[in-house]
Amino acid sequence: MDFIIFGLVAYILGSIPTSVWIGKAYYDLDIREHGSCNAGATNTFRVLGKKPGIIVLLIDVAKGSLAVLLPYFILGSRIDEERLVLIQILTAIMAVVGHVFPLFANFDGGKGVATSLGVIIGLHPPAALLCLVSFLIVFIVSKYVSLGAIVASFMFPVLINLVFQVESFWLRLFSVILAALVIITHKKNIRRILKGEESKMNLFKK
């Protein structure tokens, strides 16, 4: 029952379509019909601007972290560590799936990058920090948000398996699965980058 309950809660949290709701409530538009037609923080920055973009980013990260941390705070003291890790990994997957296929937005969501960052923060904060640093470096240098996300997602399993050498087999496996999921959802961006057609974004431009 723990797996079912927390899995459903995580999916519902992930399904909160922040960019869609903010776009419709305050700008009378569906973010999925503008820019890259993606319901994520990056497209929100591009279409609506920095303020709504930051709000969407923070909420999408928070819903991923909350999904993973709820089992820890509620069950942490009464189940063994390996079972807790398994439940947290399930909630991490379900939160990202919810963001990509949101129940509250006709299953048409974003690519799950911000929510993935949120679940990484909940699972392994030091790895999350290094992933964020790698994202910022690649993004600032290349001005490609998608390239930064791809590199950061690739860094996660490297950090978990090789740098921190986490003992949990399930967390090590999940790190590979999450990286693969993020890279797969960015396959169109990869093709555009290779063709020189990917949109750039200047972090410091007003």
pLDDT score of 204:
59
Average pLDDT, the chain: 91
Alpha carbon 127 to its chain centroid, in Å, reads: 14
For residue 102, pLDDT over 80 is answered with yes
Count CB atoms within 10 A of the CB of residue 200.
10
Q: Is the pLDDT of residue 109 over 80?
A: yes
Indicate the pTM of the whole model: 0.88
Rounded-to-10 torsion of CA 101, 168, 146, 55: 60
Q: pLDDT class for 75, splitting at 50, 70, 90?
A: confident
Query: Rounded to an integer, what distance in angstroms lies between the CA atom of residue 147 and that of residue 139?
Result: 7
Cα Rg, the chain, nearest whole Å = 17
Residue pair 21/44 in contact by the 8 Å Cβ criterion: no
Residue 98 is predicted with a pLDDT of 95
The pLDDT of 22-42, averaged and rounded, is 91
At 99, the pLDDT band (50, 70, 90 cuts) reads very high
pLDDT-derived band of residue 200, with 50, 70 and 90 as boundaries?
A: confident
- pLDDT given at position 205: 63
Q: What is the mean pLDDT of residues 90-119?
A: 92
Domain boundaries along the sequence of the chain: 2-195
